[in-house]
Homo-oligomer: A and B are copies of this chain.
């Protein structure tokens, strides 16, 4: 794995940072970290694996896990499990589908999940953070108010989306409450090491490796992995399955988590994104990793 890291590190730095979030636009483009851990807790970190970054959309997996554990299968009445096709027609699709987002990982779907949590929890922000800290045995994990504020100020499209969902009757609370929670969710910061350790329960049939806490059921864990496989990378989900062959989820902060069920979790961070919004070097690293180890699920 070290040689793959060195190879990919040496590749020319390509792509763009997520310019629409001012705070993300200033991250050093050369940052590159990797952390892998097996479910029996053998692990390896390389490069900037101990530097915090904004996990952004990767947090949608965690909010989904929490909502799924709270309300069970009925969550699928309000959000689908299908890939969304091209980004460009998502609003059209939402209207055609009567306000049911195609899956919980596109922004519209994650807002519906956030709305479920706002309804189900007394103190959504605090309780979500408690869950994340509990799974990972890591009480230092936290939101970044700078990042959240930065997104709130320019997040016109997300504000539009949430009001549109409300007009289609798939948001129960006020759009402002849901958006406030949603922007906070996406602002969580952690290192590759922390991210891998946090998400390792998805390689372990839903049970925390750190403290045996069963976060979600075995079936729920398989289903979340299946969803990450088909929907985890926006309109590059097929490409990721095709090239990497593992369930995973990316964020516009340049992070990616990938899961090999019953074996390991691996996270990668490199801030420069390809045109589909996924980490360029992150994709490259994971492709080489599964190709050279012959360890994809397919």
Name A residues whose Cβ lies closer than 8 Å to a Cβ of B: 80-86, 88-89, 91-93, 95-97, 102-103, 156-157, 159-164, 166-167, 175, 218-219, 221-223, 225-227, 229-231, 235-239, 241-242, 245, 247, 261, 291, 294, 296-298
How far apart sit A96 and B92, CA to CA, in the bound complex (Å)?
12
B219 pairs with A241, CB closer than 8 A: no
In the assembled complex, 9 residue pairs joining A and B whose CB atoms fall closer than 8 Å, in A order, are A81-B238, A81-B239, A85-B86, A91-B91, A91-B95, A156-B163, A157-B163, A230-B237, A297-B297
Given A223-B242, A229-B229, A242-B223 in contact, is the A83-B237 Cβ separation under 8 Å? Answer: yes
Given A82-B236, A157-B163, A236-B82 in contact, is the A230-B241 Cβ separation under 8 Å? Answer: yes
Given A156-B166, A298-B247 in contact, is the A86-B95 Cβ separation under 8 Å? Answer: no
How far apart sit A91 and B238, CA to CA, in the bound complex (Å)?
20
How far apart sit A247 and B245, CA to CA, in the bound complex (Å)?
11
A226 pairs with B245, CB closer than 8 A: yes
Least distance between A49 CB and chain B CB atoms (Å): 26
How far apart sit A297 and B245, CA to CA, in the bound complex (Å)?
11
Which chain B residues border A227 with CB–CB below 8 Å? 238, 241-242
Least distance between A21 CB and chain B CB atoms (Å): 13
Indicate which residue in B82, B88, B156, B261 contacts A95 across the interface (CB closer than 8 Å).
B88
Which chain B residues border A97 with CB–CB below 8 Å? 86
Which chain B residues border A81 with CB–CB below 8 Å? 238-239, 241-242
Which chain B residues border A218 with CB–CB below 8 Å? 294
Given A157-B163, A160-B160, A160-B164 in contact, is the A238-B230 Cβ separation under 8 Å? Answer: yes
Which chain B residues border A84 with CB–CB below 8 Å? 85
B163 pairs with A167, CB closer than 8 A: no
A238 pairs with B163, CB closer than 8 A: no
How far apart sit A9 and B39, CA to CA, in the bound complex (Å)?
39
Least distance between A103 CB and chain B CB atoms (Å): 7
A238 pairs with B296, CB closer than 8 A: no
Indicate which residue in B226, B242, B245, B291 contacts A242 across the interface (CB closer than 8 Å).
B226
Indicate which residue in B167, B231, B236 contacts A156 across the interface (CB closer than 8 Å).
B167
Least distance between A77 CB and chain B CB atoms (Å): 14
The 8 closest A-B pairs by CB, nearest first: A85-B85, A83-B83, A156-B167, A160-B163, A225-B298, A82-B238, A160-B164, A157-B167
Which chain B residues border A92 with CB–CB below 8 Å? 88-89, 91-92
Least distance between A155 CB and chain B CB atoms (Å): 8
Least distance between A297 CB and chain B CB atoms (Å): 5
B261 pairs with A298, CB closer than 8 A: yes
Least distance between A168 CB and chain B CB atoms (Å): 8
